[in-house]
Structure 1
Amino acid sequence: MTRSDQAAPLGGVSPATTRVMNLAHFLTQSARRLPNAIGFVWGERQWSWSELEARVDAMADALVSRFGVRKGDRILVQSSNNNQMFESMFACFRIGAVWVPTNFRQSPDEVAFLAQASGARGMICHAAFPAHAVACQQAAQLDFVIAIGSADFGPDYDVIVEVHLGKRAESPPIFRDDPCWFFFTSGTTGRPKAAVLTHGQMAFVITNHLCDLMPGTGPSDASIVVAPLSHGAGVHQLVQVAHGVKTILPAAEKLDVAAIWQLVERWKVSNLFTVPTILKMLIEDPSVDRFDHSSLRYVIYAGAPMYRTDQKRALAKLGPVLVQYFGLGEVTGAITVLPPHLHSQEDGPEARIGTCGYDRTGMQVEIQDEAGREVEAGTTGEICVIGPAVFAGYYNNPDANAKAFRNGWFRTGDLGHRDADGFIYITGRASDMYISGGSNIYPREIEEKILAHPDISETAVLGVPDPVWGEVGIAVCVTREGVAASSIDLRAFLEDRIARYKLPKAVIFWDAMPKSAYGKITKKMIREELERRGELPVFGETENA
């Protein structure tokens, strides 16, 4: 028997009609099992699981009965980390609405674009961002705005919760492909796009995270937040709720390293999620030695590969607790994993230096050429992935979807290779690679060599136009504290470490690197800062060094 693509699937059930659990039920389950246990801590305030459940029920009821929100409506959330933002995720999920968190450090115009692009019906906005609320109302003609705190642009979130306490909105039926979260990309190569995450996809992601990143995690554990809840940290905290793990939210909006370590000691924190640049700050601050962090079992980092020198310092300070994963927002982090036992502090064959690990459970990864064919081990190509963690596509953006998918595979835009044992190595973003004299140059390789210099703390290498070679590399560096840039001859240091055609043609020193709201160093931001400073080199007819 043959079956066309238009025929009913075997078993007669399609993904669109497959009922799944509403993700907000994870909170309900924890509240039932652990009603009086601490679920959330923010500064000196604490909420039990049953209190969180009641507050989420109240806001969900208000969204439906007072503001008329229905399944599928998008709710934009503009706020720094707080308990209300955390609760708003579950309130939206509970009634089948779509949670649309922003990068709260974006400008009013940038957030207004997100409101318009997502088709937001309403907004929850912290009182500290009145201009954002006004811009979004004008751009998207919102039906309502709720203020976190006292503000002129809308009623107070906590007052609404108080009025509706004890009420519970009915949850509509939820199906596998129903959207729950618009996860906006960071827009490193253009305007942000809304990646559509679904209830069924995210249920798999949560299970996968618990399996691959933090096995054995449960109610006796605690997790600390060191990044905005709008993106990866929000996914991580949703995972904690699923297993009744208390969330510790620092009181300060900005990263206070000493306060983080103090909270780790006080609450016996067992896991945290962060990005390499923030982990670097955590382990290089003197406060890491003042507080007890022996409770840590999993220090999970993602968002970018961690440079080997930083990795070794972290292992020396924290012990064998590092977990690396590679994954974009579009795959909700679930592409590869490198667990603690595969993080080696000593260099050598067993260290597999530079790897981001192997395929995540239930996911399939291939290194493909430009035609979509899998390449041999050791050959560089584009990292592509299929599996239940892959998002449903970009909202209302058919052109982006056409570019992102090929033969069912999601194209990450990252270049890399796989070794004979199945471990994957990221070379860099396809957009970061440059071609000099006909040779492909991958900045990641050069950056690793630069950071082997004992006096250099951070670096970024990017390609710039050159009339002779097409493109050449420049290196932007930050020295370690107390070291004068004039004392470093980087090209001499690199001469015996990399091929001459890979040597940066220019080296620029800055006091600090610009970083995104999520602690990442992006080539787009480096290039923009070079242009702003007037330091972007213009090369003439000279020989390649």
Structure 2
Amino acid sequence: MTTSTRIPAGGVGPVSKRVMNLANLLHQAARRHRNEIGFVWGGATWTWGDLARRVDAMAAALIAKGIGKGDRVLVQSKNCNQMFESMFACFQLGAIWVPANFRQTPDEVAYLAQSSGASALICHRDFPEHVAAVREAAPGIRSVIAIGFSEFGEEYDALVARYSGESVPMATVEHDDPCWFFFTSGTTGRPKAAVLTHGQMAFVVTNHLCDLMPGTTHQDASLVVAPLSHGAGVHQLTQVARGVKTVLLSSERFDIDEAWKLVEQWRITNLFTVPTIVKLLTEHPSVDRHDHSSLRYVIYAGAPMYREDQKHALRKLGKVLVQYFGLGEVTGNITVLPPALHESDDGPDVKIGTCGYERTGMQVSIQDEQGREVAAGETGEICVCGPAVFAGYYNNPDANAKAFRDGWFRTGDLGHVDEEGYLYITGRASDMYISGGSNVYPREIEEKILTHPAVAEVAILGVPDRTWGEVGVAVCVRRPQAEVGESELLAWMEGKVARYKIPKRVFFWEALPRSAYGKITKKDIRAELESRGCLPLAQPAPSTT
């Protein structure tokens, strides 16, 4: 990556774009709140002073292993204090943090090591197979550090103890110096490394504080219910900027009762998650057994929340929901729907289905296939520009050429804006199908099906059809003790959506497949339909099972 410079008007020569090293956020918190708790995990706590000392020590250990500015450090770990610290240790050296989702397979993580050009691996002791796969696929890995005692590398905490007391100066960084390879989830093809930079992420942190959780201070507390490798890591970086304590679940298992206990115990004020997790949290009986009155911001992203789930969450938690729309490539910074615009009733002034308005400093453009901006109310591809847009995909010029057009980042999502600039997402461009010459956007039909009292979850896919080109297939999950069959649900949809939008078949499963981040994965649903013999499509069965 190279730093671009520009000659300002007036003939002045190139100007350095030096920016703050992001590791300074943690050290600022340590100077201001040294003896206050900054991190909680299980029965252990660490003060901000503890965290700063440990980050200094790990940075010194990495230097001793030959890691410096520009080197990539792959991290394969469950959520823990060491993973959290490793982010800042890498930033401090000017190295690049490359976190993997801990649920990925050894071969998948080996690919991340290879494609990122990683020089070192920090790996939790529970993943020796990942270490073996990485070493075989990526000979450039010079050092392996184990979180927890293991035979495959030097132990993280032992290194922290060995280098304790050492102070490592923060590397000088410029705006476009990479700090984080944020791997996409890879819903199509191999994951790609989105390059996040020190200057870009400083804007993202500021923007999150401005638009998602205004008024946040060191008296707040944040609960982590998602892997720190992706969106939750960005969220926690924002917490550090204000000295907010971070609280982890005790294990990688998502225990809803424990989550609500921690909300009550630590007076949690904000958390970041995805809509499906909000649904699970608010539909579980423990939501009524624990005090959650401290919550001010329950931030959800990754997908729009279905309206019926939104209403239920608002009834349980009050007006604390915050939605934002944004991809990893834009680090979540496209639109925001704050608490004041979340309503539990469908009144005439309620903007139902919107994901909000443009984030501060960001601009949205709805464009047709030629890159022309379409009028309000017309559907097109959601494109965005602004300081939160990433620097590009690492070592992938073809992907960069497809992702950018005339300076706009192309999200691949379809939607429209209204006259006031509120954005409505129709769905992924890849989700849309054409039935009988008409475009069908699954999101609209999914929203309608979820108003049926017996349906808890639904996903609709377009599949080939000899007569119509493509037709819809719905895969539903029933609510506990609820009964509804295929013919009954199809009959119920009559008159509620246009006939050409009604799915040709409905299947009922016990659960829908999800990604490691809790999102429903339609590519896995399609594969499962094929493996069950449901595709190619047969005619509807007369029974209701």
Give the TM interval when normalised to the shorter protein: over 0.9
Q: Give the corresponding residue for 2:173.
A: 174
Pair 13,525 (structure 1): closer, same or farther in 2 beyond 3 Å = farther
| One-letter identity of the residue aligned with 2:317 | L
**Are 1:136 and 2:134 counterparts?**
yes
Pair 299,488 (structure 1): closer, same or farther in 2 beyond 3 Å = farther
Tell me by how many angstroms 1:468 deviates: 1.2
**Are 1:264 and 2:263 counterparts?**
yes
Pair 523,261 (structure 1): closer, same or farther in 2 beyond 3 Å = same
Q: Give the corresponding residue for 2:81.
A: 83
Contact kept in structure 1, 2:23 and 2:170, CA below 8 Å: no
Secondary structure (helix, strand or coil) at the match of 1:80 reads: coil
Q: Give the corresponding residue for 1:114.
A: 112
Q: Give the corresponding residue for 2:296.
A: 297
CA distance in 1, matches of 2:497, 2:429: 21
CA distance in 2, matches of 1:342, 1:7: 41
Q: Give the corresponding residue for 1:444.
A: 443
CA distance in 2, matches of 1:279, 1:529: 25
Q: Give the corresponding residue for 1:508.
A: 507
**Are 1:414 and 2:413 counterparts?**
yes
Q: How does 1:512-531 map to 2 (within 5 A)?
A: 512-531=511-530
Tell me by how many angstroms 1:531 deviates: 2.2
Q: Give the corresponding residue for 2:398.
A: 399
CA distance in 2, matches of 1:402, 1:539: 40
Pair 14,122 (structure 1): closer, same or farther in 2 beyond 3 Å = farther
Pair 37,436 (structure 1): closer, same or farther in 2 beyond 3 Å = same
Count of matched residue pairs: 535
Q: How does 1:15-414 map to 2 (within 5 A)?
A: 17-64=16-63, 66-141=64-139, 142-414=141-413
CA distance in 1, matches of 2:404, 2:348: 35
CA distance in 1, matches of 2:487, 2:438: 28
| One-letter identity of the residue aligned with 2:348 | P
Contact kept in structure 2, 1:345 and 1:351, CA below 8 Å: no
Tell me by how many angstroms 1:138 deviates: 1.1
Contact kept in structure 2, 1:457 and 1:480, CA below 8 Å: yes
Secondary structure (helix, strand or coil) at the match of 1:411 reads: strand
Q: Give the corresponding residue for 2:494.
A: 495
Cα displacement string for residues 291-318 of structure 1 (whole angstroms, at most 9, x for unaligned residues): 0000000000000000000000000000
Tell me by how many angstroms 1:30 deviates: 0.3
CA distance in 2, matches of 1:304, 1:408: 25
CA distance in 1, matches of 2:14, 2:390: 17
Contact kept in structure 2, 1:112 and 1:140, CA below 8 Å: yes
Tell me by how many angstroms 1:527 deviates: 1.1
Contact kept in structure 1, 2:463 and 2:473, CA below 8 Å: yes
CA distance in 1, matches of 2:50, 2:392: 35
Secondary structure (helix, strand or coil) at the match of 2:85 reads: helix
Contact kept in structure 1, 2:363 and 2:384, CA below 8 Å: yes
Pair 436,133 (structure 1): closer, same or farther in 2 beyond 3 Å = same
| One-letter identity of the residue aligned with 1:137 | R
Cα displacement string for residues 346-365 of structure 1 (whole angstroms, at most 9, x for unaligned residues): 10232211100000000000
Contact kept in structure 1, 2:486 and 2:506, CA below 8 Å: no
Cα displacement string for residues 255-285 of structure 1 (whole angstroms, at most 9, x for unaligned residues): 1000000000000000000000010000000
Cα displacement string for residues 384-407 of structure 1 (whole angstroms, at most 9, x for unaligned residues): 000000000000000000000000
Pair 298,13 (structure 1): closer, same or farther in 2 beyond 3 Å = farther
| One-letter identity of the residue aligned with 2:434 | I
CA distance in 1, matches of 2:115, 2:217: 38
Q: Give the corresponding residue for 1:428.
A: 427
Tell me by how many angstroms 1:433 deviates: 0.3
CA distance in 2, matches of 1:210, 1:171: 24
Pair 526,482 (structure 1): closer, same or farther in 2 beyond 3 Å = same
CA distance in 2, matches of 1:501, 1:327: 31
Tell me by how many angstroms 1:535 deviates: 2.3
Q: Give the corresponding residue for 2:543.
A: none
CA distance in 1, matches of 2:254, 2:90: 28
Cα displacement string for residues 32-66 of structure 1 (whole angstroms, at most 9, x for unaligned residues): 000000000001100000000000000001100x2
Contact kept in structure 2, 1:467 and 1:539, CA below 8 Å: no
Cα displacement string for residues 77-115 of structure 1 (whole angstroms, at most 9, x for unaligned residues): 001100000000000000000000001111100110000
The runs of 5 or more residues in structure 1 that have no matched partner are none
Moved more, 443-452 or 345-354: 345-354
Secondary structure (helix, strand or coil) at the match of 1:62 reads: helix
TM-score by length of 2: 0.96
| One-letter identity of the residue aligned with 2:152 | F
Identity over aligned residues, as a percent? 68
Contact kept in structure 1, 2:145 and 2:153, CA below 8 Å: yes
Contact kept in structure 2, 1:23 and 1:199, CA below 8 Å: yes
Pair 503,13 (structure 1): closer, same or farther in 2 beyond 3 Å = farther
Tell me by how many angstroms 1:421 deviates: 1.0
Cα displacement string for residues 157-197 of structure 1 (whole angstroms, at most 9, x for unaligned residues): 00000000100222221100000000000000111000000
TM-score by length of 1: 0.96
Contact kept in structure 1, 2:414 and 2:427, CA below 8 Å: yes
CA distance in 2, matches of 1:192, 1:200: 24
Pair 461,316 (structure 1): closer, same or farther in 2 beyond 3 Å = same
| One-letter identity of the residue aligned with 1:127 | R
CA distance in 2, matches of 1:195, 1:92: 17
Pair 540,250 (structure 1): closer, same or farther in 2 beyond 3 Å = closer
